[in-house]
Amino acid sequence: MSEHLPDGVERHAFGGDGDGTDRLATRGEPVYGEPTDDEWRAWDPSRSKLGAMLELEMQTDLAGDDTVLYLGAASGTTVSHVADFAGPTYAVEFAARPARDLLEAAASRSQLFPLLADARKPDTYAHVVESDVDIIVQDVATRGQARVALENRRFLADDGRLLLAVKARSEDVTRDPSAVFDDVREELEAEYEVLETKSLERYHADHLGIVARPL
């Protein structure tokens, strides 16, 4: 089976991990204590929903030099890897504490632009984020995850992609995750065509990866 890895993401063997397995990696300054080998830094899918989507060979259509809007950047674990190979990368994070770590991750990445903002309120950063971004990556722990994707649809190019990690327990901890996933997908279909879905259970409990394109 062929892999769908973006330019700038490769498999690399890191010494000292004990099992000799090649791991996803990008070139850049380390951020969170990840294994490194010269300029390479390991991308751990158990700490990254997008990394899990790549490990599971979802067809993300991510490419080198893409313009990316990343919703739910937290302290920069995943978005720093994205900025290692992508073009302008706008990283939206609402909480002040992880945003401070995100600023540190951006210090060595001139194309990474941290935004202290709420992904549910895109009007607050619409004056900064360029229109027609190639990729929206969404990893937010909140109710209304489909609504966040719909509200941020305005930034996505007509041929762009939404890469969404749905957290069932953030929507409703009392419901069966599969029912939550069905509801999110149905709501998304108002403005997106869902191209692929895949459980991220191997790396993240009660998560579903979705690849979609705007209608």
Tell me the CA distances in angstroms from 201 to 121, 198, 208, one per residue in order.
Answer: 29, 9, 8
Whether residue 21 is predicted with pLDDT greater than 90 in this model: the reply is: no
Q: Is the pLDDT of residue 4 over 80?
A: no
Instruction: Decide if 177 contacts 108 (C-beta within 8 A).
Output: no
Name the token pair of 14. 């890191």
pLDDT in tens, 106-135: 999 999 999 999 999 999 999 999 889 999
Convert 149-170 to b/e letters by CB count within 10 Å (16 or more is b): bbbbbebbbeebbbbbbbbbeb
Does this model's pTM top 0.85? My answer is yes
Assign 148 to helix, strand or coil: helix
Which domains does the chain carry?
44-214 (3.40.50.150)
Q: Which residues contact 210 (CB under 8 A, 6 or more apart)?
A: 162, 163, 164, 165, 166, 184, 185, 188, 194, 196, 197
Please check the confidence at residue 18 and state whether its pLDDT lies above 80. Answer: no
Which of the 8 DSSP states describes residue 139? -
- Which residues fall within 8 angstroms of residue 211, CB to CB, at 6 or more apart? 53, 58, 59, 60, 61, 161, 162, 163, 164, 194, 195, 196, 197
pLDDT value at position 16?
A: 59
For the cut 60, the answer to whether the pLDDT of residue 59 exceeds it is yes
CA–CA distance, 215 with 19 (Å, rounded to integer): 44
Average pLDDT over every residue of 138-155: 97
Which residue numbers belong to the known binding site? 77-78, 93-94, 118-119, 139-142
pLDDT band per the 50, 70, 90 thresholds, residue 3: low
User: pLDDT digits over 147-192, tens only?
Assistant: 999 999 999 999 999 999 999 999 999 999 999 999 999 999 999 9
Looking at residue 130, its pLDDT comes to 85
- Residue set of the binding site for S-adenosyl-L-methionine: 77-78, 93-94, 118-119, 139-142
Specify the pairing of strand 22-27 against strand 133-138. unpaired
The CA radius of gyration of the chain, in Å to the nearest whole number, is 16
Over residues 87-107, the mean pLDDT reads: 96
Question: Is pLDDT above 50 for 15?
Answer: yes
Q: Tell me, what's the pLDDT at 1?
A: 40
Please state which of the ranges 10-24, 25-39, 55-69, 200-214 shows the lowest mean pLDDT: 10-24
